[in-house]
Amino acid sequence: MLAHAIAAELNLPRPFMVGLSPAYIEHGARGSLPSAHATVMFTVALLCLRRPALRRAGAVVFVAGILTGWARIHVGVHFPADIPAGLLLALVLVAVFGGLEHVGRRVRGVLERGSSSA
């Protein structure tokens, strides 16, 4: 949702909208930066990469994100910069999730210490 909101606010055209590429696939004429596909795939990949048991899956999803990004560029619905912008947004989201996870652990620790002393 955040990627769509940012893209709507920036409202940058897609390659097919400015005549740089035919529209090889049907797509709405809305903002392209960042790529929502890239944001979602890279967010899932990076979250998986944080967990040792899911690192292989994370690597596979990361490569799939790169390939999907390339395909979206190839069919004319994204400029090359839209894909790394999705990766950047994914990095920010994963950092926020990590920060929330850290805060949650600290709060849980405080609550557990408080309940054990009562």
| Per-residue model confidence as pLDDT tens digits over 42-86 | 999 999 999 999 999 999 999 999 999 999 999 999 999 999 999
Domain membership of residue 86 as a residue range: 2-22+30-116
pTM: 0.83
CATH label of the domain that carries residue 84: 1.20.144.10
Number of domains in the chain: 1
Question: DSSP string covering 10-56, please?
Answer: H-PPPGGGGTSS--SS---SS--SS-HHHHHHHHHHHHHHTSGGGHH
Residues 89, 2 contacting (CB under 8 angstroms): yes
Residues 58, 94 contacting (CB under 8 angstroms): no
Confidence (pLDDT) at 32: 87
Confidence (pLDDT) at 118: 59
Which is more confidently placed, 32 or 57?
Answer: 57
- The Cα 118–Cα 81 span in angstroms is 56
